[in-house]
């Protein structure tokens, strides 16, 4: 089992990494900009669950198997990029003015679908696979045995820390959005999420994965 001091070192390193905003944070911010705090928090929860699946896969060797294939990571990368671009185009289409019941229905659908979208974005992010496989083993005590269990504890800890950080970003951006939308820049904030989605999709598709 992992010693307490070793786990604290891992937590410190994880906090430092989580403090640096990445693509997942940008996605959460974009969701918060388009739908508010509730949408952002549900998106963060979905990303957390998706990352938890990655952590479990890393602990039991599934991620290493995916990395060893010549097509596994590329498939996830292009699928994730296509999904983000699709969300961007859809967001642009839906950014126009809506009336009464139509606007309420769209808002409800956005809230309900946020958790699912977060899961898909996390699962289709190959960089999470590469990161966990490279990062977690550095804190494993091989002399203590049961390496998969240690990796699982480390992975779950990292996901929990990441979820707290993502939730903080969702809260911050959601509250900020509610204030900014009261001004004359509301049209800009409505369309900004679509731009973020498409840019993230293009960056994902063009990024090179170092195995």
pLDDT single digits (tens) 23-37: 999 999 999 988 889
The answer to whether residue 12 sits within a structural domain is no
Work out the mean pLDDT of the chain and round it to a whole number: 86
Report whether pLDDT(110) > 80. no
Least confident of 60-64, 65-69, 93-97, 132-136: 93-97
* Contacts made by residues 205-211, CB under 8 angstroms, sequence distance 24+: 205/77, 205/78, 205/81, 205/82, 207/77, 207/127, 209/73, 209/74, 209/77, 209/126, 209/127, 209/130, 210/130, 211/67, 211/73, 211/130
Q: For helices 72-93 and 100-123, give the axis angle rounded to 10 degrees.
A: 170
Q: E strands, 107-149, where?
A: none
The answer to whether residue 60 sits within a structural domain is yes
Q: Which residue has the higher pLDDT, 191 or 107?
A: 191
Q: Which residue has the higher pLDDT, 101 or 121?
A: 121
Percent of the residues in the chain that have a pLDDT greater than 70, as a whole number: 85
The answer to whether residue 136 sits within a structural domain is yes
How many other CB atoms are there within 10 angstroms of residue 117's CB atom? 20
- For the record, the structure tokens of 185 come out as 């820049």
The answer to whether residue 125 sits within a structural domain is yes
The answer to whether residue 211 sits within a structural domain is no
How many other CB atoms are there within 10 angstroms of residue 36's CB atom? 20
The answer to whether residue 46 sits within a structural domain is yes
How many domains are contained in the chain? 1
- Domain containing residue 165: 26-206
The answer to whether residue 5 sits within a structural domain is no
Q: Are 77 and 170 in contact (CB under 8 A)?
A: no
Tell me the whole-structure pTM to 2 decimals: 0.86
The answer to whether residue 21 sits within a structural domain is no
Non-local (6+) Cβ contacts of 95 within 8 A are: 190, 191, 194
């Amino acid at each position: 089992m992992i010693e307490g001091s070793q786990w604290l070192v891992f937590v410190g390193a994880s906090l430092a990494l989580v403090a640096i905003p990445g693509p997942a944070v940008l996605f959460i911010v974009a969701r918060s900009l388009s739908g508010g705090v509730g949408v952002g928090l549900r998106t963060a929860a979905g990303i957390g669950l998706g990352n938890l699946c990655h952590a479990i896969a890393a602990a039991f060797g599934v991620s290493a198997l995916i990395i060893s294939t010549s097509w596994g990571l590329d498939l996830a990368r292009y699928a994730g990029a296509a999904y983000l671009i699709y969300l961007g185009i859809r967001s642009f289409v839906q950014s126009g003015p809506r009336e009464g019941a139509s606007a309420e229905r769209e808002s409800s659908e956005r809230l309900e679908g946020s958790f699912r979208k977060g899961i898909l974005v996390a699962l289709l992010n190959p960089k999470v696979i590469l990161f966990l496989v490279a990062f977690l083993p550095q804190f494993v005590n091989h002399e203590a045995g049961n390496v998969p269990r240690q990796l699982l504890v480390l992975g779950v800890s990292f996901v929990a820390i990441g979820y707290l950080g993502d939730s903080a970003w969702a809260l911050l951006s959601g509250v900020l959005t509610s204030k900014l939308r009261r001004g004359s820049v509301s049209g800009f904030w409505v369309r900004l999420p679509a731009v973020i989605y498409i840019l993230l999709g293009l960056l994902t598709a063009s990024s090179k994965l170092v195995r």
